[in-house]
Amino acid sequence: MFSLPEFTKVKILDVTLLSQKNRPPGANPGVRLNMQADLPNYVLSHFDGALRTAFFTKSEAAANSAKDKRQTLPGVEEISDLPHLTAMARHIKKVSWSEKLTGYRGEIDHGMGGKSNLPVTDASLDNWRFQAKEGGTVAAWWSLEMVDVPKMVLAELAMLKSREVPIKLLEPEVRQQQLDDADTEANSAASAPAAASKPEGEQQQAADGGPWPFPNDAPKDPPKDDAPATASRRKGGKTAEEIFADTSKD
């Protein structure tokens, strides 16, 4: 994903005030900054892996030219390993790229540095245009939009029109803690006993150890061993068999 992790000089071409139609009283407006910068051509790979090789190549004939030899001085780091334009790039002036990147943060150094830097919060980047340049660089144009910009910051941003300032843009943060919590909950749900998800009838078993055949009616506890004898006893303490035997004798 596109980013400027280190302060990079960018020219602010225009500053536009943004406001919603039904903005409530006291709410801060937004701002759009149109900017341009010359960047190493590897930034094209953040948008599409084939975009860089479509515009740039390494030509042996061009590398042996006098002009190219003057540009590659000893001790000077090469801008790119693909410094030369392809035939297609020489015939294309500017390429538009329709992609919107959101959630960016960063800061703008407008001269004082440190804590006086202007914050970039929850910004979106779009309106991309690219133009390949000989030597391994690409001219990039894009727009940066922010909403709910405080008055003091808005005033400072308006002063940056037509100025070149260092800017840092960082990718959206990935909230690792939330991802870890989600994984923990998923693991807990997967490790729960399978019986908890079964209907009540399926959790019970019949007296012989097999599955209970009536899922809507839970099985009852089996009677105790001494229950028949206790139920058959009368007040005199004799069982039905003993009473029948006494009657036969009479």
pLDDT at 178: 56
Using DSSP, state whether 203 is helix, strand or coil.
helix
Residues 93-116 have pLDDT tens digits of: 899 999 999 999 999 999 888 889
Compute the distance between CA of residue 17 and CA of residue 153 in angstroms, rounded to an integer: 12
pLDDT at 113: 84
Residues 155-176 have pLDDT tens digits of: 999 999 999 999 999 999 876 5
Residues 176-222 have pLDDT tens digits of: 555 556 666 666 666 555 444 545 444 455 555 566 666 666 556 65
- CB-based contact 170:107 (threshold 8 Å): no
Q: What is the average per-residue pLDDT within 132-144?
A: 95
Q: Worst-scoring range by mean pLDDT, 10-14, 46-50, 56-60?
A: 56-60
Average pLDDT, the chain: 79
Confidence band, pLDDT 50/70/90 cuts, at residue 32: very high
Compute the distance between CA of residue 122 and CA of residue 104 in angstroms, rounded to an integer: 5
